[in-house]
A and B are shown apart, each in its own frame.
Chain A
Amino acid sequence: MSIEAKEEFRPKIVAFCCNWCSYAGADLAGSSRLGYPADVKIIRVPCSCRVNPMFILRAFEKGADGVIMCGCHPGDCHYSTGNYYARRRMTLLFSMLDYIGVENGRTRVEWVSAAEGVKFSTTMNEFVEKIRSLGKNVRLEDLRCRK
């Protein structure tokens, strides 16, 4: 039993959250005790438009199994337009990853407002579930980084 539990696949998941909406949404999920798996680790960025595709590829290179980016809902960006640029960038990047054969679903964008603690938690639960079903990321990791 315990051996089985240890061998259970624990994905590494990086979540980029914008400071104004999604990070606050994650805080609200926390204060509302709306749980999601510990596999998700959040990195705070000022805005979703701060997320460079390089960061996402780097995460995969270093062995992340899934990367999710959360920002303010389109129209509600603290900086007015940041998430609109982010939306285009991520659409193209995700399409490219799909094109080179990275399983769909390892990347995701979700707009989560500061008031949407529930959405944050459900999104993370779903995403972890998806990554667990996809299994370990082997197509994008740098072998030298594997331990």
Chain B
Amino acid sequence: MQRIGVFVCHCGSNIAATVDVKKVAEMTLLEPGVVHAEDYQYMCSEAGQEKIIAAIKEKNLTGVVVCSCSPRMHETTFRKAAEKAGLNPYMVEIANIREHCSWIHKDMEEATEKAVILARAAIAKVNLNAPLKPGESRVTKRALIIGGGIAGIQTALDIADAGYEVDIVEKEPSIGGRMSQLDKTFPTLDCSACILTPKMVEASAHEKIHIHTYSEVEKVSGFVGDFTVDIRKKARYVDMDKCTGCGVCQEKCPSKKAASEFNRGLNTRSAIYTPFAQAIPNVPVIDTENCIKFKTGKCGVCSKVCQAGAIDYTQKDEIITEKYGAIVVATGFDTIKLDNYDEYAYNQSKDVITSLELERIMNAAGPTKGHLERLSDGKAPKEMVFVQCVGSRCSDDRGKPYCSKICCMYTAKHAMLIRDKYPDVNVTVFYIDVRTPGKNFDEFYRRAVEQYGVNYIKGQVGKVIPQPNGKLLVQGSDLLDNKQILKEADMVVLATAIEPNPGVRKIATMLTASIDTNNFLTEAHAKLRPVESPTAGIFLSGVCQGPKDIPETVAQAGAAAVKAIGLLAKDKLMTNPCTAQSDELLCNGCSTCANVCPYGAITYEERQVNDHGIRETRRLAVVNSALCQGCGACTVACPSGAMDLQGFSNRQILAEVDAICQ
């Protein structure tokens, strides 16, 4: 029989206001095995932990139950406290009487009754707990960054500067990501490329950073500290080692009708191309869908003009396999498709554009060489209307429920830049709310309004109607003046909602990292562990975790790097001891368990056993505890019950069931 101590936390008034903590302590004393029970203001505090330590020592406790907040919060805290007192940390169980009780119930009697039952279940479990010892696993001192935008680059630089090898996998032909498409940045208005390209160069020149562009993660196996990743390096048809980046091939390529991805399809590019002038690596790729050589077999101009002989039409995709200790997801975002927003006439008029398209138009390397002009007729606009929250903060399923966060600021930036460069252009912004929290943000917005005379109208645009004269009729409402507005505009710019890169779900599945309904990766804790995924060894950098601007992205990228460095700096990791184990006297050797094991942790051995005097050689399941992650799939597949999970054994869970149904 265990000697169990029960510690009931008040959590200030968080628990004590709805649960009679004294009564819980009192009631648990009646449970089998319980020899000590007390309550305290804050069990997780130094003083609270001391109480646990003292009781373990004084009363020779062999098990501890803490009735407190979720084990996801403080299980580790209390396990460490128990360890300090010389008790095996796995002899501690938590009864979650805060998140699962006091916070959701109002009636004191009811909540107290439930808290007692939850405590009973934990006590019943501890009665069957056995000391567990974690194993050790090695750490591969190399990190993988998925995504080569500013988030990925910054994380890579920070990890590499700490002395660890880093691989960046970027699916596009160049690193740089969304930031490379931006013209200016708020609130300082400095040029995006001017601050990004030095970072790109730094990353590519860093001896510890290895960049795989035009590549995608194909397969991930393993676990924290020891991931094995297959990376598909798509065929570029250009030899990276030979190409000098002279650009002649792109000039001479006769197929120039492919939509430029970099310029958001606003102009065209050649079939052999680098996305933009400062691309890293400065080695083009051949887009086989548009290449005449690939389509018809004839052409081969690029190969003929290439002095370096770098063109290789026979190149094949290549799979490389590498081991990593940590993986950082930095897959970024894209703007949503506007097919659900027909009222803005985006698909009908060339002069209705997204903000990201405006960035390209404003950029000197863009489709109009930086001149603000209508894409329909090349005329300079006189009236511009900006529509905020297109697809953001949307209550139906046409758009996204969240705020895309960056739109208010970049619209102020656009408005300001236009008014600055073209003072004769009138700029009107329709908004629901203007949200400008951030250093120098509100000042920036006020400058747009006060200094640059941008006309902000609180209200939404209902419809944009292309007119026969080429203008756009904007129907909107002014909520402050309570009137309908009809306005003729030359261009309409939609602040289109951003969404996580559509490929991220597939990556999350490969990484077994959890992802929310909006396809943002979930943090391990919304407040306290914002750059870690709940899956150990997976870190989050940039917009893949939630909408954010460049400074926030860079800050988070650094934070993700620190977390990854913290992991890579370790030589060994303690492994979860809650792994499966097979009872060799019960095992049938039927292989059912191995069939459901996602980690290949179960193998079979012919072993000599002594089953109550019968000595025979049997085929037996053997669990490799370094590979086992403790899911328990095998335990249910096993018909004889030979396979059991330490820490969540059949008897332990049944004891909890019994205690609850008592």
Which A positions have Cβ atoms within 8 angstroms of B? 12, 14, 19-21, 23-24, 26-27, 29-31, 33-36, 38, 41-47, 49-55, 58-59, 62-64, 72, 75-82, 85, 89, 113-116, 121, 145
Residues of B within 8 A of A145 (CB): 661
A20 touches B514 (CB 8 A): yes
The contact of B633 among A33, A58, A85, by CB within 8 Å, is A85
Can you list 22 contacts pairing A with B, beta carbon distance less than 8 Å?
A23-B70, A26-B100, A30-B100, A33-B103, A36-B104, A38-B113, A41-B660, A44-B71, A44-B96, A45-B648, A50-B632, A52-B635, A52-B650, A55-B657, A62-B658, A76-B509, A79-B512, A79-B598, A82-B633, A113-B516, A116-B517, A121-B104
With contact pairs A62-B662, A75-B509 given, residues A82 and B631 touching in the complex (Cβ less than 8 Å): yes
Q: Which B residues, 473 to 519, have Cβ-Cβ distances below 8 Å to chain A?
A: 505, 508-509, 512, 514-517
Complex: A64 Cα to B486 Cα, angstroms: 64
Complex: A75 Cα to B510 Cα, angstroms: 10
Beyond A30-B98, A38-B114, 10 extra complex contacts between A and B, CB < 8 Å: A14-B657, A29-B99, A35-B106, A41-B118, A49-B633, A54-B650, A59-B660, A76-B514, A79-B631, A81-B596
Asked if B328 is an interface residue, CB under 8 A from chain A, the answer is: no
B632 touches A49 (CB 8 A): yes
With contact pairs A49-B633, A79-B631, A115-B516 given, residues A62 and B657 touching in the complex (Cβ less than 8 Å): yes
B111 to chain A, nearest CB (A): 6
A30 touches B99 (CB 8 A): yes
B512 touches A80 (CB 8 A): yes
Complex: A24 Cα to B654 Cα, angstroms: 22
Mark interface residues in B374-394 (1 if CB within 8 Å of A CB, else 0). Answer: 000000000000000000000
Residues of B within 8 A of A31 (CB): 99, 103
Give how many A-B residue pairs fall within 8 Å (CB-CB): 156
A87 to chain B, nearest CB (A): 12
A79 touches B629 (CB 8 A): yes
Residues of A within 8 A of B598 (CB): 79-82
Q: How big is chain B's contact interface, by range? A: 35 or more
A58 touches B636 (CB 8 A): no
Which B positions have Cβ atoms within 8 angstroms of A? 70-72, 96, 98-101, 103-107, 110-111, 113-114, 117-118, 121, 505, 508-509, 512, 514-517, 522, 534-535, 578, 596, 598, 629-633, 635-637, 645, 648, 650, 653-654, 656-658, 660-662
A43 touches B657 (CB 8 A): yes
B636 touches A51 (CB 8 A): yes
A30 touches B104 (CB 8 A): yes
The contact of A78 among B98, B534, B658, by CB within 8 Å, is B534
Closest partner residue, chain A, to B518 (CB atom) = A115
B514 touches A85 (CB 8 A): no
Residues of B within 8 A of A63 (CB): 661
With contact pairs A35-B104, A52-B636, A114-B522 given, residues A58 and B509 touching in the complex (Cβ less than 8 Å): no
Complex: A87 Cα to B3 Cα, angstroms: 39
B110 touches A38 (CB 8 A): yes
Complex: A78 Cα to B514 Cα, angstroms: 7
Residues of B within 8 A of A12 (CB): 660-661
The contact of A64 among B114, B508, B661, by CB within 8 Å, is B661
- Chain B contact residues: helix, strand, loop or mixed: helix
B346 to chain A, nearest CB (A): 30
Complex: A26 Cα to B118 Cα, angstroms: 15
B661 touches A113 (CB 8 A): no
Complex: A52 Cα to B517 Cα, angstroms: 28
Closest partner residue, chain A, to B632 (CB atom) = A50
A138 to chain B, nearest CB (A): 14
Complex: A58 Cα to B650 Cα, angstroms: 11
Residues of A within 8 A of B578 (CB): 46
Closest partner residue, chain B, to A18 (CB atom) = B631
Complex: A75 Cα to B631 Cα, angstroms: 15
Complex: A114 Cα to B241 Cα, angstroms: 46
B508 touches A76 (CB 8 A): yes
Complex: A109 Cα to B367 Cα, angstroms: 53
A115 touches B517 (CB 8 A): yes
A97 to chain B, nearest CB (A): 16
Residues of A within 8 A of B515 (CB): 76
With contact pairs A27-B72, A30-B100 given, residues A79 and B514 touching in the complex (Cβ less than 8 Å): no
Residues of A within 8 A of B98 (CB): 30
Complex: A30 Cα to B15 Cα, angstroms: 12
Residues of A within 8 A of B534 (CB): 20, 24, 78, 114
With contact pairs A21-B514, A38-B114 given, residues A115 and B636 touching in the complex (Cβ less than 8 Å): no
B635 touches A85 (CB 8 A): no
Closest 4 CB pairs of A and B: A30-B99, A50-B632, A62-B661, A79-B631
B635 touches A50 (CB 8 A): yes
Residues of A within 8 A of B522 (CB): 113-115
Closest partner residue, chain A, to B534 (CB atom) = A20
A136 to chain B, nearest CB (A): 13
A56 to chain B, nearest CB (A): 9
Closest partner residue, chain A, to B106 (CB atom) = A35
A123 to chain B, nearest CB (A): 13
Complex: A33 Cα to B515 Cα, angstroms: 23
Complex: A44 Cα to B633 Cα, angstroms: 15
B632 touches A47 (CB 8 A): yes
Residues of A within 8 A of B110 (CB): 38
Residues of B within 8 A of A43 (CB): 121, 653, 656-657, 660
A113 touches B117 (CB 8 A): no
The contact of B630 among A29, A36, A46, A80, by CB within 8 Å, is A46
The contact of B99 among A27, A81, A89, by CB within 8 Å, is A27
Residues of B within 8 A of A54 (CB): 650, 654
Closest partner residue, chain B, to A145 (CB atom) = B661
Residues of A within 8 A of B653 (CB): 43, 45, 50, 52, 55
B654 to chain A, nearest CB (A): 6
A46 to chain B, nearest CB (A): 5
A79 to chain B, nearest CB (A): 4
Question: A19, A29, A35, A43 — which one has the most chain B CB atoms within 10 A of its CB?
Answer: A43
